[in-house]
């Protein structure tokens, strides 16, 4: 069994700038959007202001609804159809622009002008309060900047090996994504992405948990020449948290399994819906990102399966233990 794809934390600009993708063959082979910053994304987590949705074709009875999510770097189309009933219902509840967190599949489509258009097919839509909005946006900006630095490093010889990067703690998925990006984008300009991070910092002010580090001092101007403008890139990444003890991980997994079992028992189809599980996990103090990590591990260990996208249950062996 393959693990569930982890959702990449990205800003709107990065998805909008993407024009490359990897498509596998077969019903259950994942496809990926490859971004200029090394994102090799099947699923993404984005945060911004969502507009009230509109039905496709202007028909209020439509089975496909579209919204738009805007963060400080740009706007993305967000949609949900019959195969995402909970996400569609959550979208349709929006009656005014609302700060929200969206997890979903990243896709590229040819637009009417011939260019690529990036969209997110929502799996989960959840309104957030100002504190959670700021934290999620800061996290996306931090990871954007770190991946930008990784791609820049790999583009500048001598390029480090995968083994070196792994020893330094760089996630293997980031290394694969960075190399895929370099192979597909012959040229790139990091300046717009640095400016995007600056835009996020400006919109957040100074979040208490994500303090920016000062940039380098401005160079001394040469007499007789006009001073060059100085651009300071703010580094948002906070120190990585220490992993919890194994006992705590097992306790959290046990809680998540209990929640999953309860939902499956009460459901008509015998499965726990991803959105319901996320909501319950948050109520029990397990954040969205932490829940994804736990769910990935449970899938990889064979304790949980996802025979239908967004629907989970214990495997036969795990249920009989």
Average pLDDT of the segment spanning 246-272: 85
What's the confidence (pLDDT) of residue 3? 53
pLDDT above 90: percentage of residues in the chain: 39
- Spatial separation of the C-alpha atoms in residues 134 and 162, rounded to whole Å: 33
pLDDT tens readout for residues 108-135: 887 767 778 899 999 889 999 999 999 9
Residue environment code for 119-144, b if the CB has 16+ CB neighbours within 10 A, otherwise e: bbbbbbbbebeeebbbbbbbbbbbbb
Domain boundaries, the chain: 1-209, 246-320
What's the confidence (pLDDT) of residue 57? 58
| Alpha-helix runs per DSSP H in 77-184 | 85-92, 130-155, 162-167, 172-184
Tell me how crowded residue 89 is: count the other CB atoms within 10 A of its CB. 13
40-41 vs 32-34, strand pairing mode: antiparallel
Backbone angles phi, psi at 307, to 5 degrees: -70, -25
Task: Indicate the CATH number for domain 1-209.
Answer: 2.40.50.140
pLDDT at 78 over 70: yes
- Spatial separation of the C-alpha atoms in residues 310 and 86, rounded to whole Å: 10
Among 191, 172, 190, smallest CA distance to 180 is for 172
Average of per-residue pLDDT values in the chain: 79
- Spatial separation of the C-alpha atoms in residues 43 and 103, rounded to whole Å: 7
| Alpha-helix runs per DSSP H in 156-210 | 162-167, 172-184, 191-204
The length of the chain in residues reads 321
pLDDT tens readout for residues 180-226: 999 999 888 999 999 999 989 888 875 434 433 333 333 333 334 33
Tell me how crowded residue 277 is: count the other CB atoms within 10 A of its CB. 24
Average pLDDT of the segment spanning 285-311: 75
What's the confidence (pLDDT) of residue 223? 39
Name which CATH class applies to 246-320: mainly alpha
Say which residue, 21 or 26, is predicted with more confidence. 21
Say which residue, 146 or 247, is predicted with more confidence. 146
Q: Which residue has the tokens 């909501």?
A: 279
Residues in Cβ contact with 101 at an 8 Å cutoff, skipping those fewer than 6 apart: 45, 46, 47, 124, 125, 126, 128, 132, 133, 136, 288
pLDDT tens readout for residues 82-93: 777 888 888 999
Average pLDDT of the segment spanning 23-47: 83
pLDDT at 23 over 90: no
DSSP 206-240: --TTSPPBP-PPPPPPPTTSPPPPP-PPPB-PPPP
**Coil vs helix vs strand at 92:** helix
Residue environment code for 52-67, b if the CB has 16+ CB neighbours within 10 A, otherwise e: ebeeeeeeeeeeebbb
Same fold, 1-209 and 246-320: no
Under 8 Å between Cβ of 264 and 272? yes
Under 8 Å between Cβ of 144 and 15? no
């Amino acid at each position: 069994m393959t693990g569930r794809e982890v959702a990449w934390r990205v800003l709107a600009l990065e998805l909008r700038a993407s024009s490359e993708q990897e498509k596998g063959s077969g019903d259950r082979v994942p496809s990926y959007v490859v971004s200029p910053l090394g994102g090799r994304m099947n699923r993404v987590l984005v945060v911004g202001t969502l507009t009230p949705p509109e039905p496709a074709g202007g028909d209020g009875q439509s089975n496909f609804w579209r919204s738009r999510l805007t963060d400080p770097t740009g706007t993305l189309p967000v949609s949900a159809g019959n195969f995402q009933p909970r996400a569609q219902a959550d979208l349709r509840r929006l009656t005014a622009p609302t700060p929200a967190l969206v997890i979903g599949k990243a896709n590229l489509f040819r637009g009417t002008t011939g260019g690529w258009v990036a969209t997110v097919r929502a799996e989960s839509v959840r309104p957030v309060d100002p504190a959670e909005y700021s934290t999620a946006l800061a996290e996306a900006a931090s990871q954007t900047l770190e991946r930008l630095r990784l791609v820049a490093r790999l583009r500048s010889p001598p390029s480090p090996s995968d083994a070196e990067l792994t020893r330094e703690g760089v996630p293997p998925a980031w290394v694969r994504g960075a190399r895929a990006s370099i192979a597909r984008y012959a040229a790139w300009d990091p300046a717009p992405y640095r400016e995007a991070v600056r835009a996020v910092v400006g919109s957040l002010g100074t979040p208490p948990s994500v303090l920016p580090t000062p940039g380098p001092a401005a160079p001394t101007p040469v007499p007789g020449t006009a001073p060059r403008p100085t651009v300071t890139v703010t580094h948002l990444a906070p120190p990585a948290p220490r992993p919890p003890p194994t006992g705590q991980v097992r306790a959290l997994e046990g809680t998540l399994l209990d929640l999953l079992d309860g939902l499956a028992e009460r459901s008509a189809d015998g499965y726990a819906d991803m959105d319901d599980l996320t909501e319950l996990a948050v109520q029990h103090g397990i954040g969205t990102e932490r829940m994804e990590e736990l769910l990935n591990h449970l899938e990889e260990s064979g304790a949980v399966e996802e025979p239908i996208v967004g629907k989970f249950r214990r495997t036969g062996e795990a249920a009989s233990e």
